[in-house]
Amino acid sequence: MAFYYVDSSALVKRYIRETGSAWVLSLFDPSLNNDVLIAAITGVEIIAAIIRRARGRSISTTDSTLACVQFRSDLQSDYQVVELTESIINSAMVLAETYALRGYDAVQLATGCAINALCTANSFSSVIFVSADNELNAAAASEGLIVENPNNYS
């Protein structure tokens, strides 16, 4: 069993086939008993990413609709959703300033750091921060997180 904190750039690969999709899907193998955590904002980011791809015609409207329905279903059962706290928001502001991150990327990193701190404080294994964003991954590594990029897997 492992704890994975997955940002939207990685999680969208579960719903839209692209490089790294198979690796992301493997995180949900029931025999591994992984815990997959996401920030509350990830839902907004996933739906937006799916719809934007349909509007850009890289996926069909039908596939977009099915992907959104599947994500909303999975949201009820497959993820531990981390609510944003004042502490996470304050940390995100510092991280945005430190690493010149986009707003939601800073929130994703702050949430991952908060979860990792909880894991280590409770003698659990460190969280694995999963993102397909190289800039965000560099910042996460600088913050001491274990990082996986699904784009490194075909």
What does the pLDDT look like over 101-115, one tens digit per residue?
A: 999 999 999 999 999
Q: Please state, in angstroms and rounded to a whole number, the distance separating the CA atoms of residues 145 and 114.
A: 11
pLDDT beyond 90 at 81: yes
Q: Are 21 and 148 in contact (CB under 8 A)?
A: no
Could you give all domains of the chain from N- to C-terminal order, each with its CATH number? 3-41+80-152 (3.40.50)
Res 35: pLDDT? 96
Res 154: pLDDT? 78
pLDDT beyond 90 at 62: yes
Res 5: pLDDT? 98
Average pLDDT estimate for 89-100: 98
Q: Please state, in angstroms and rounded to a whole number, the distance separating the CA atoms of residues 16 and 56.
A: 14
Res 1: pLDDT? 83
Res 18: pLDDT? 94
| pLDDT level of residue 17 (50, 70, 90 thresholds) | very high
Res 109: pLDDT? 98
Percent with pLDDT over 70 in the chain: 100
Lowest model confidence (mean pLDDT) among 54-58, 83-87, 96-100, 112-116: 54-58
Q: Indicate the SS3 state at residue 38.
A: strand
